[in-house]
Amino acid sequence: MDPAQVRDTVVVINGLPDGSSALRHGLSDRWVVLEPELAGSGISAVHELEAAIAGLAPENYGVVGVSSGAELAIRHALRSPERVAVLALISPPIVGRNAAGAGSELPNQIGQIQCPTLVVFGQEDPLAASARVYRERIPNCNIAFVYDAGHDIPAERPQALLNLVADYLQRRETFIVQNRSSLISP
C-alpha cells in the first residue's frame, strides 16, 4: 500500500446522546474512525471497549472520549499505554477535591497517563474547574476551552470542537511513526 494512502485510526468513545456524530464524520475525512457501541459502564465497559477494538484497531491509535466516554478513554489509556498514542478528553469527569463516585480514584491515576493529552471544556461547563487538576497531573497535557459552550460541546459548538480535536490529532500524529515505522524511509 502506498504510504500516502495509509490513514491512522482514532477510536471515539461517546458519552452523550449523539454527542460524537459531528466528530465522527469530520474526523473520518482524515482518519479511520472506530466508534464502538458500549452497553456497560465502569470497568465492564472498559473490557467491552477493549474487546470491540482488539481486532479492528492497529497497534497504536488515538482515542477521543466525550463526557462519560472520557472516563472510559482515561481508563483505557491507563490499561493500554502501549497502544493509546494520543488522547483527547472532551468534557471529562470532574477530578480534584469535589470528585466523588465511581470515578473518584481518577485524580490519583491520571498522572500515569503517558501519551500526549488534550482536555477540552466548554467555557460555561461547571466541570471546567477541573481543568487545572488535569493540567497539573497529566505530564503531557494541553487544555482548551470552547467559548459559548457548556458541557455538551459536540451539540453546542460542533465545528469549533472538530477543529480543535482534528488540529491536535494532526499535530500529534506520533502514532503514524510508531504504528507504521516500516513505511518510513531511513
What does the alpha-carbon distance between residue 176 and residue 6 come to, in Å, rounded to a whole number? 9
Q: If you average pLDDT over residues 150-159, what whole number do you get?
A: 93
Q: Check residue 18 and give its pLDDT.
A: 64
Confidence class of residue 59 from pLDDT cuts 50, 70 and 90? confident
Measuring CA to CA, which residue among 98, 96, 46 is closest to residue 68?
A: 46
Q: How far is CA 60 from CA 18, 20, 154, in A?
A: 26, 21, 25
Give me the CATH code for the 3-171 domain, please.
3.40.50.1820
The pTM of the full predicted model, rounded to 2 decimals, is 0.83
Strands 141-146 and 61-66: unpaired
Q: Are 170 and 30 in contact (CB under 8 A)?
A: yes
Q: Radius of gyration (Cα) for the chain, nearest Å?
A: 16
The answer, yes or no, to whether residue 170 has pLDDT greater than 70, is yes
The pLDDT of residue 162 is above 50: yes
